[in-house]
Amino acid sequence: MATNTIVLLVGTTLATLVLAGMIAGVAHKTRTSHRHVSGETSGDAARVHTAQPRIDVRTVRAGRLPQRATVHRSVSTSSHDQLNGFGAVDELRETP
């Protein structure tokens, strides 16, 4: 093969690769911008869908907190009263 033919083949190959890269870049940017124009991707929708049950569970748990606090107070009071009955609280207070 002649030198001119080799140079022509290498030049044509490089031009083809550059053109293919440019087309791929434009296609990627166009595809990405169209996806973000809609406001949500499928990942965003999935996150929102799974976040709602977590919010509901946390709301239920928060609603139960006052009831649990009341139970803990009553248990604490009864334990304190039992200790008073045994005289253990007085012994604890006297210990330095």
pLDDT tens digits for 19-77?
999 999 998 888 766 555 555 566 666 777 777 888 888 888 888 899 999 999 998 88
Specify the higher pLDDT residue, 7 or 52.
Answer: 7
Give me the pLDDT at residue 60, please.
Answer: 87
Q: Report the alpha-carbon angle 50-52-57, nearest 5.
A: 105
Reading the block at residue 41, the tokens are 């991707």
End-to-end CA distance of the chain: 104
Give me the pLDDT at residue 83, please.
Answer: 78
Specify the higher pLDDT residue, 8 or 39.
Answer: 8
C-alpha radius of gyration, the chain, whole number: 37
Specify the higher pLDDT residue, 79 or 10.
Answer: 10
Torsion of CA 86, 87, 91, 94, to 10 degrees: 160
- Whether pTM > 0.75 for this model: the answer is no
Reading the block at residue 68, the tokens are 């649990």
Give me the pLDDT at residue 7, please.
Answer: 94
Give me the pLDDT at residue 30, please.
Answer: 82
Reading the block at residue 49, the tokens are 């869908």
